[in-house]
Structure 1
């Protein structure tokens, strides 16, 4: 639902990399959220997912609300730096807006690979005068490139706590690409007292017939749903914040509209974990 990020020297320019004939996760997610920054291929892909799982739009909305609640919670805990990988196309209440509403000095680095995401981010996501935002074109599968990027280094102080946001992106990392290793390399660069905010699609609550339809739409094999146990394995060694790994619709959602959607309708796990040494 989020988007992978890519950027290597010698590749096509951002504008030349736009392929409107192929669905992109960030643009499809924008469509599912009711946005207008998408193309026919993205809408066709989103409609196919909705045909297989009619509540997929609800899942996208609940995932977005989870991100906002998690950012608000961490900002209230005193976290002032956020590294948001797999940003997606800007909507309302983006990471920096939520954080800077609590502390205008909050600093945010956004990372994504879709040139349209980056264009919108640079045009629409403006920081408070006291804070700062930056936007990177980099690859989650190459975390060292993200961490070494000069714009990250001038925006964030990696000696101070950082909230690493991996919301709706880890399920686009295949097992053979070692998502646990990627996460471990990012976490190793952050000090104790930092946090990881993550959400991940799970199909463990869905009927086999629905799973089969969803799998049929996974044409390139890029998408990898994982169970609660598998998701927990990615966060191994960190200290889960209460209530642990739960549906994104249930994570600290007492003030959200009631009743809350079922875990089957959302099929998204979410968690916030504290980095300890």
Structure 2
């Protein structure tokens, strides 16, 4: 890589584009290899993904089954799941390449903060995916429960798998959102005041997410989903509040130092 010969990250636009091309190429190679591995893991993974529907049919006697309605449907389904597995399994590699591309342009302090964001976001994302997974059976049960008596619910397998993956990703990203708010604050793009001002909207959105996660009539389940998300939101607000205070103190100190240097006070002379 060109960065090895140029550790300071000072490159021309052409050099940056070449660096980006190389990292994208190797990331794509690893994702492709992961997709091949995912192809052979399809059967056990598919058994896990379809478990909510199978359990619903076995335990509650609901006439629901997954269906592949086209000639190429089975191939498309296996390919979609394989690509998803390939992207997930190789995420450490392509995330590293992304990190290696942007880190030379960051200061030491910014690198430390970015690493902190990554190490915080990953477990939060996995927690959101886990919560979505344990909530999925109730979600599927409620939706299929609208099936009229005397009819069968024949579910398109491709749509069901995409629906499941989408639910996992949405909940994972919902848990990462507080980290994104902190990152934007550290980048001086939003303030703690704006985050706190929007707390009613945030609580409403969280309530909607919790209602989707727990479509049953049990209010305790919805409450257990809402509490960690609301707590994460206000923890992010607290972190941004203290960061804004720290930034204001630093700016005030720089302002005083500038005024002292202009007026030529003894304090400025001592600092010189």
Does TM, scored on the shorter chain, surpass 0.5?
no
Greater per-residue helix proportion: 2
Greater per-residue strand proportion: 1
TM-score by length of 1: 0.25
